[in-house]
Structures are given as structure tokens and as C-alpha cells.
């Protein structure tokens, strides 16, 4: 009787980080939840068991929201003030909801997209391999012959 072969690691399909991230799904299986609240990442996927310990979106989502959400919202509020000069309650009814919508709503999908992109592209902390010499015989930034990369 033949011995049973050890089970091979399951092959996971390559999922698009945009689709899985924007929906807040696991980057490996696409079924489990990525978030455990509005912006807090879950410990791992409940469907496939992937640990989300690799994920570090840092300030990326906030940067994108500031660039693409806050700037138009503040521009709208300033132009409204310059050209119409409305009373303060008009800003509370128009500018404030527009600012909140463009700043808070995109944070979760953007964070999901960045986390799923980190998984898809196997992003990790940068590392220096080999010995680096700032000034060698051939000029600056020459690596030692033992480590040519």
C-alpha cells in the first residue's frame, strides 16, 4: 500500500487588489472580511486563515484622501465663500457635509486597496543585501566583490 503524500499548499488564484480591496475582502481568497470595524483591520481571514500581520498601509489612505478629497472640498467651500458670501449656516449645510463625505467615506476602500496591493505585490520592508561601501576605488556606491548585487 502506498503512503499518502503530504498535502500540498493550496493554490490560491491571483485576485485583483482593486476589486478585493475596495470591497474589503481577503486578498488571498476574496471571501473573508478584511476589516473588523470601519478602519481597524481584522487579525486574519475567517475563510482561508491568512494572517493580516503583513499589512501596513501607514498613512497612505490619508494621503490619498487629502490629495483627492480634501482639496476639492476646501476649494468648493472657498469658492462658495468668495463668489456668494453666504451666511455660516449655508456652509454648515453644504460645505461641511461635502467635506465629511469626501474625507471619511473613501478611507476604508483606499485602505483595503493598499493592504490587498501589499499582499498581491508581496511588498515588504526594504533590505540592504551585502556590504555597501559609500566610496570605493571605482567611485561612489560600489558594492564589494563578494556581493555584486
DSSP sequence for 127-145:
---S-EEEEETTEEEEEPT
**DSSP 3-state assignment of 147?**
coil
Question: Would residue 101 count as lying in a domain?
Answer: yes
**DSSP 3-state assignment of 35?**
strand
Q: How far apart are CA 101 and CA 106, in angstroms?
A: 8
Question: Would residue 141 count as lying in a domain?
Answer: no
Question: Would residue 52 count as lying in a domain?
Answer: yes
- How confident is the model over 24-30, as a mean pLDDT? 94
**DSSP 3-state assignment of 92?**
helix
Question: Would residue 135 count as lying in a domain?
Answer: no
pTM passes above 0.95 = no
Cβ atoms within 10 Å of 117's Cβ, excluding its own? 18
Q: How far apart are CA 12 and CA 120, in angstroms?
A: 11
Q: How far apart are CA 139 and CA 142, in angstroms?
A: 7
Question: Would residue 137 count as lying in a domain?
Answer: no
What is the structure's pLDDT at 133? 60
Question: Would residue 147 count as lying in a domain?
Answer: no
Q: What is the pLDDT of residues 67-82, one digit of tens each?
A: 888 889 999 999 999 9
What percent of the chain stands above pLDDT 70?
Answer: 80
Look up the domain containing 46 and give its range: 17-122
The total of structural domains in the chain comes to 1
Question: Would residue 40 count as lying in a domain?
Answer: yes
Grid coordinates belonging to 54: 503583513
Question: Would residue 3 count as lying in a domain?
Answer: no
Amino acid at each position: 500500500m502506498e503512503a499518502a503524500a503530504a498535502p500540498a499548499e493550496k493554490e490560491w488564484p491571483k485576485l485583483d487588489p482593486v476589486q478585493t480591496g475596495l470591497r474589503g475582502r481577503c486578498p488571498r481568497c476574496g471571501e473573508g472580511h478584511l476589516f473588523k470595524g470601519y478602519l481597524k483591520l481584522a487579525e486574519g481571514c475567517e475563510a482561508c486563515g491568512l494572517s493580516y500581520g503583513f499589512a501596513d498601509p501607514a498613512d497612505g489612505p490619508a494621503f490619498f484622501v487629502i490629495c483627492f478629497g480634501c482639496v476639492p472640498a476646501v476649494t468648493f467651500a472657498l469658492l462658495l465663500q468668495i463668489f456668494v458670501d453666504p451666511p455660516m449656516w449655508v456652509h454648515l449645510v453644504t460645505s461641511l457635509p461635502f467635506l465629511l463625505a469626501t474625507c471619511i467615506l473613501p478611507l476604508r476602500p483606499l485602505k483595503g486597496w493598499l493592504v490587498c496591493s501589499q499582499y498581491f505585490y508581496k511588498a515588504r520592508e526594504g533590505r540592504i543585501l551585502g556590504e555597501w561601501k559609500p566610496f570605493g576605488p571605482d567611485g561612489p556606491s560600489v558594492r564589494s566583490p563578494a556581493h555584486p548585487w
